[in-house]
Amino acid sequence: MPAAAAGGAITPVSFTNPLKFDTVQGATAVFLNAFQGIIVMLALIFLVLGGIFYITSGGDSKKIESAKGMITAAMIGLAIGVAAPSFLKEIGNILGWGGAQVPTEVSGARSAIEVAQAVLDFLLSIVGLLAMVMMVVGGLMFFAAAGDEKRAETAKGIVKYSVIGVAVAIVSLIIVRTIAGLF
């Protein structure tokens, strides 16, 4: 608003916006980022706490179940926190949102199918790595059995279940990719 100076002249007065946003969409984006960060941080904290409780359970079945529940809830919270923009994007697509109504954090997010495929790829890489390690362990145990039939059978079982695990992982990848291709 202009202000009157001495002598009747009008001098402009300007204010700078102290906020990080100018629009409702900007406020939504800032809130989404903050909320997502809080969810992910809490999930990681509870994941670590669940691991600590599991390690320190001392074999107590109630403590083990409590730790498993904490880890499961943390993993679900982490999944929701990481995938929140994708969920909002899918909801926006269903409701027909478009253009300037959607914050860039949501409009630029991966689709739910892309998130699921990325998670599947990550998990399958873990399964593949673990299966390879277990095959090597089983092979070494078989060679180190030195004629002990029980140790040799244990080693064969490790290798057998590692191969089965790799087969199940590959089949699940094929099924998920085929189903994802339908959408």
CA 154 to chain centre: 35
- What pLDDT does 65 receive? 93
Per-residue model confidence as pLDDT tens digits over 118-165: 777 787 788 888 888 888 988 899 999 888 899 999 989 888 888 888
Which residues are CB-neighbours of 91 under 8 A, at least 6 positions away? none
What's the pLDDT score for residue 66? Answer: 92
Q: How many Å apart are CA 84 and CA 112, to the nearest integer?
A: 10
pTM of the model: 0.50
Provide long-range contacts, Cβ within 8 A and 24+ apart, for 76-79: 77/39, 77/42, 77/43, 77/46, 78/39, 78/40, 78/43, 78/44, 78/47, 79/119
Answer for the pair 22, 30: CB distance below 8 angstroms, yes or no.
Answer: no
Determine the Cα–Cα distance for residues 72 and 168; give it in Å rounded to an integer: 23
Q: What is the pLDDT along the chain (183 residues), one digit of tens a residue?
A: 555 555 667 888 887 777 777 777 677 777 877 888 888 888 888 888 888 888 888 778 898 899 889 989 988 888 888 777 777 777 777 777 665 566 666 667 777 677 777 777 787 788 888 888 888 988 899 999 888 899 999 989 888 888 888 888 788 778 777 876 776
Which candidate, 155, 131, 130, places its Cα nearest to that of 141?
Answer: 155
